[in-house]
Each structure stands twice: as C-alpha cells, then as structure tokens.
Amino acid sequence: MPLLVSCTFSPPDLSPPIVELSGDTCNIKYGENSYKATVTHMLQGVTSITFAEPDTINGIVYTFSGNGCSIIFGDLTFSTDRSFMGDTALPQIICDVMSSMQGENALTYVQKEEPQSSTLTTAIFTGKTQKYNYKVTTDFSSGYIKEIEVGDCDLLLTFSNK
C-alpha cells in the first residue's frame, strides 16, 4: 500500500538576530546601577546611546563611529578617540557588543528548547568581543533583539519596544 502521509521534522531556520537598531528603548542594569536609554546601531558601524534615566545623565548622547567617539550634552560636544573611554565604560561595552554581533559567524546558536516552530518563542545566541562573552536573546519569529547579557561585567540590556 502506498504511503499517503509523511511526517518529517524540519527544524526552523535559526538566523542570527537583526543587528540594526533604530532608536530602540532599553532598560540597562550595570552592576548595582540602573539606566534607561535609547540605542541606535547601524550596520555601517555607527552606534548612538542616548540616556534618559537617571535624571543626572538625562540627555547625554554617546556616538561611536570608527575609532572616534563623541559625547554630547546640550550644546556641548566632546570628540575623542574610542580608547579614551576605557574598556569598562558602559557606552564602550554596548558599542563593542553591537559591533561584534555584525561579524560573519560572530554568533553561535544555543538551543535551549525543542526547536518546533509552534512552541519556540526565543532564540539564544552567544558571542564574544575582544574582552567579554555575551548572550543575545531574540524573538524567534522576527529575530529582533529582546535582551543582551554580558555576564563578565554584570551588564543586562532589556529592549522594550520589540
């Protein structure tokens, strides 16, 4: 008798996340400190971080492009080399992670649940900057970044508008 029905399992495509962010709001926990910021990252390697909370840093904008960094507050602009920031400066770590994710084969999928499209809600990837290991949690269906965790330095970014 011929087979009329075939059941095969094809795991879904586990594509890396969409690394381009256009003004995505996030809550940031860095050690004991909490911040709220808007992060913009373009595929050309330009990263901008605009802080909104706490009030003491509301309106400060860090923009990274190539080896340069600009810090803007109101009418004041300070431009310098990225190395001026230091490896443990919060904006520098965020920029390094965002830039690292763009590299070809930079992220590795980590399977945390059975990859069945009907139940899988997140996809988790790991990556590494020159100094830190990080984990990226994305929405499974869209690939949008939901969370970035840099455990080596106790940093967690949770994106709220995706």
User: pLDDT (tens digit, 9 = 90+) per residue, 29-45?
Assistant: 999 999 999 999 887 77
Query: What's the rounded Cα separation, in Å, for the pair 153 and 133?
Result: 9
Mean pLDDT taken over the chain: 83
Which pair of structure tokens corresponds to residue 90?
A: 């919060």
What's the whole-number mean pLDDT along residues 49-70?
94
Radius of gyration of the chain (CA): 19
d(CA 56, CA 48): 19
> How close are the terminal C-alpha atoms of the chain, in Å?
50
Task: Inform me whether the pLDDT recorded for 161 exceeds 70.
Answer: no
pTM of the model: 0.82
pLDDT band at 1 (very low <50, low <70, confident <90, very high): very low
pLDDT in tens, 99-129: 888 877 888 888 655 555 556 778 888 999 9
Domain spans, the chain: 21-159
The superfamily CATH assigns to domain 21-159 is Lipoprotein localisation LolA/LolB/LppX (2.50.20.10)
**What pLDDT, on a 0 to 100 scale, did the predictor assign at position 116?**
57
Place of tokens 């803007």: 72
Handedness of CA 21, 124, 162, 29 (dihedral sign): negative
| Residue 15: per-residue pLDDT | 62
* Gap between the Cα atoms of 41 and 99, Å rounded: 8
Phi-psi domain of 33 (left: phi exceeds 0; alpha: psi -120 through 50; beta: other): beta
Is 45 within 8 Å of 66 (Cβ atoms)? yes
- Which pLDDT score, from 0 to 100, does residue 3 have? 44
